[in-house]
């Protein structure tokens, strides 16, 4: 088990990671999810013992990484964001070097290297220079390095970035297979990937943990409320007012400008979808606003993620949303304003 | 430690690197050797290996940084530092492993230069005891420069900058005694004494004359230890400072 307690990291005055705590259980795949720059890599570097922490504690199988680094690191395999490979070495040579670094006894070495090469399907490139390999293969060589010596815990920092879809699927299936013998911490900014592979998710943004839970629980969190999409043709101010006033509407989360006077509203609902939908439709038609499309949808993880990450902006009012749109499409919106005034 | 040593040696000897550096070294050695042989100014014919070594040491300023510039700079550049730091080895082992590998290449260079004394011995006479002392001094000097070069390499991730910085530091070390002897510095005996304490040339002079003095050996060894310890501190410090 890896325990992370009150982990904090400052880069000068910048706080990269703020007082986070969580644990990784045995035989578990833990997803580490957050947008770019959220502090994922920093946290993983600290868990792996590459970066010292400003405050806090990481314990791997009972050994503190800053007090007994050698002992703690024996249970770890780490694949950083950039695979740590030497371009001038051959694949086999490199793995043999890593096996030595990980203190694998000489007698077991070649068997172990053979095993990881087969597991990651790099046996056919074993005599190639690493600099001549493609990005996907380099990534796999780095991955193979992490698996050497069968460490109990694997830390994989964005292992699928830059791979083609086939390779991504392959890497995912490898990660799933690893669960039998290892615990995996695996970071990503792609949500579907995490939900496809992980048992539990830690969502992090700007150094703070936003949520730690299983995928099912996260889905349940917003399971009751629906999301309504309406595409209208007409004045967006009137439409926005009507929608906001309707009972059971939580907030308008997004307004997309689709064309001349055509807008798509994304609305967060609180109550029964059908009834609200009918009420809104009725009101809009009364005000001569045409509706070209209307449907409700269950929120997926994506929206949970976005909601958790941007906890602030989803609560912002209509005015801010309009301002946002004006900033995005300056010409269009000024024209529209004029039209609305004429009306 | 052994695996790092082995890997470093592979990167020197499985590539043309060690051979090219050695060839350059031999080329310079030949150049000064011939220059010394053709030294006709003396009334009596005069030739000594220490004189050749003196000249070759100046070339060290260019040779050793080539050898050491990649030691830590490239690890940082390729991101492989992370691999070393997250493996169950400590920083001291990494530094010593790399240092021993650099020393091994240097020994390879020295061994290849033995063809000159052997040739001289066949055609003429060599004072073996003096030659051994000179080689010992030569080796210690090189070992000190390698420690300096390795230290400088840990300051930057650009190996060219590491090489140039190393050259400057080595240059200072080579000429610090000449500098301390200038009339300007001689006005201040304290400063002169302080600078002279760092001078390696007069210490090498004892070796080349056939003396092995404990104080000289201690000088070179302590310089090596200080550089390697500083190397350790500089790597650890950078880990603490940034990401």
Q: Which residues of chain B neighbour A89 with C-beta distances below 8 Å?
A: 7, 10-11
Contacts of A48 in chain B (CB under 8 A): 82, 86
Hey, is A127 helix, strand or coil? coil
Contact B90 A71 (CB under 8 A): no
Residue with tokens 């830690």: A202
- Percent composition of chain B: helix, strand, coil (DSSP 3-state, to 5): 80, 0, 20
What is the CA angle B59-B77-A160, rounded to 5?
A: 160
Structure confidence by residue, pLDDT tens digits, A156-200: 988 888 788 888 888 888 888 888 888 899 888 777 778 778 888
CB-closest option in B80, B84, B85 to A85: B80
B136-195 confidence digits (pLDDT tens): 988 999 999 999 999 999 998 888 999 999 999 999 888 888 888 888 888 888 888 888
Interface residue B3 vs chain A (CB under 8 A)? yes
Contacts of B168 (CB under 8 A, 6+ apart): none
**Which of B147, B117, B112 lies closest to B132 in space, CA to CA?**
B117
Is residue B147 within 8 A of residue B99, CB to CB? The reply is: yes
The string of pLDDT tens digits covering residues B65-119 is 999 998 889 888 888 888 988 888 888 999 999 999 999 999 999 999 888 888 8
Query: Residues of A with CB below 8 A from B3's CB?
Result: 97, 99-101
Q: What is the pTM of this model?
A: 0.78
DSSP letters spanning B42-56: SSS----HHHHHHHH
C-alpha dist (Å) from residue A80 to A57, A128, B57, B66, B102: 20, 22, 42, 29, 28
CB contact (8 A) between residue B85 and residue A103 = no
Write down the ipTM of this complex: 0.82
A115-124, A252-261, A312-321 — which is least confidently predicted?
A312-321
Residue B239 contacts A, CB cutoff 8 Å: yes
Q: Decide if A151 contacts A2 (C-beta within 8 A).
A: no
* B211-240: average pLDDT: 91
Beta strands at A227-233 and A262-269: parallel, antiparallel or unpaired = antiparallel
* Longest CA–CA separation in chain A, Å: 86
Contact list in A for residue B6 (CB cut-off 8 A) is: 97, 100
Q: Could you say which of B79, B88, B240 has the minimum Cβ distance to residue A70? A: B88
B78 part of contact set with chain A, CB < 8 Å: yes
């Amino acid at each position: 088990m890896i325990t992370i307690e009150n982990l904090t990291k400052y880069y000068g005055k910048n706080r990269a990671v703020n007082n986070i705590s969580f644990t990784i259980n045995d035989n578990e795949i833990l997803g580490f999810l957050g947008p770019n720059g959220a502090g994922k890599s920093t946290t993983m570097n600290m868990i792996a013992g590459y970066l010292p922490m400003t405050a806090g504690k990481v314990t791997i199988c009972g050994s503190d990484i800053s007090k007994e680094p050698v002992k703690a690191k024996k249970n770890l395999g780490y694949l950083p964001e950039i695979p740590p490979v030497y371009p001038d070495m051959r694949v086999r040579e490199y793995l043999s070097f890593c096996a030595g670094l990980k203190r694998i006894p000489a007698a077991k070495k070649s068997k172990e290297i053979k095993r990881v090469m087969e597991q990651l399907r790099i046996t056919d490139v074993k005599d190639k220079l690493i600099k001549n390999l493609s990005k996907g293969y380099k990534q796999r060589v780095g991955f193979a390095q992490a698996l050497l010596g069968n460490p109990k815990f694997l830390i994989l920092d964005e292992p699928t970035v830059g791979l083609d879809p086939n390779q991504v699927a392959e890497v995912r299936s490898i990660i799933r297979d690893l669960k039998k013998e290892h615990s995996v911490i695996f970071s990503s900014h792609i949500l579907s990937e995490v939900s496809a592979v992980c048992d539990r998710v830690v969502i992090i943004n700007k150094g703070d943990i936003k949520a730690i839970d299983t995928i099912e629980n996260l889905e349940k969190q917003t399971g009751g409320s629906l999301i309504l999409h309406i595409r209208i043709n007409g004045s967006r101010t009137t439409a926005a007012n009507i929608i906001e006033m309707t009972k059971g509407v939580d907030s308008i989360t997004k307004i997309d400008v689709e064309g001349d006077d055509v807008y798509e509203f994304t609305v967060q609902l609180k109550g029964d979808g059908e009834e609200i939908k009918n009420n809104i439709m009725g009101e809009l038609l009364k005000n001569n606003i045409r509706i070209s499309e209307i449907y409700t949808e269950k929120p997926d993880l994506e929206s949970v993620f976005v909601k958790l990450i941007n906890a602030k902006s989803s609560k912002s009012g209509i005015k801010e949303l309009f301002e946002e749109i004006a900033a995005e499409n300056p010409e269009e919106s000024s024209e529209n304003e004029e039209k609305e005034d004429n009306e | 430690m052994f695996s790092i040593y082995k890997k470093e040696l592979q990167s020197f000897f499985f590539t043309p690197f060690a051979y090219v550096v050695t060839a350059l070294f031999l080329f310079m050695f030949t150049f000064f050797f011939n220059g010394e042989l053709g030294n006709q100014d003396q009334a009596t014919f005069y030739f000594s290996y220490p004189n050749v070594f003196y000249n070759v040491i100046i070339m060290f300023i260019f040779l050793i940084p080539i050898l050491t510039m990649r030691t830590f700079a490239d690890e940082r550049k390729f991101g492989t530092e992370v691999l070393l730091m997250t493996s169950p080895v400590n920083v001291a082992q990494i530094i010593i492993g790399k240092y021993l590998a650099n020393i091994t290449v240097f020994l390879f260079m020295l061994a290849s230069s033995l063809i000159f004394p052997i040739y001289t011995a066949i055609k003429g006479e060599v004072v073996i005891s003096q030659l051994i002392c000179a080689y010992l001094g030569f080796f210690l000097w090189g070992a000190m420069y390698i420690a300096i070069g390795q230290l400088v390499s840990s300051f930057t991730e650009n190996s060219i900058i590491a090489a140039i910085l190393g050259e400057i530091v080595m240059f200072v070390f080579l000429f610090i005694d000449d500098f301390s002897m200038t009339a300007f510095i001689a006005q201040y005996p304290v400063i002169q004494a302080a600078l002279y304490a760092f001078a390696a040339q007069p210490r090498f002079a004892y070796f080349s004359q056939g003396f092995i003095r404990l104080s000289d050996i201690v000088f070179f060894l302590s310089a090596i230890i200080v550089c390697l310890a500083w190397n350790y501190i500089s790597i650890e410090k950078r880990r603490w400072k940034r990401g």
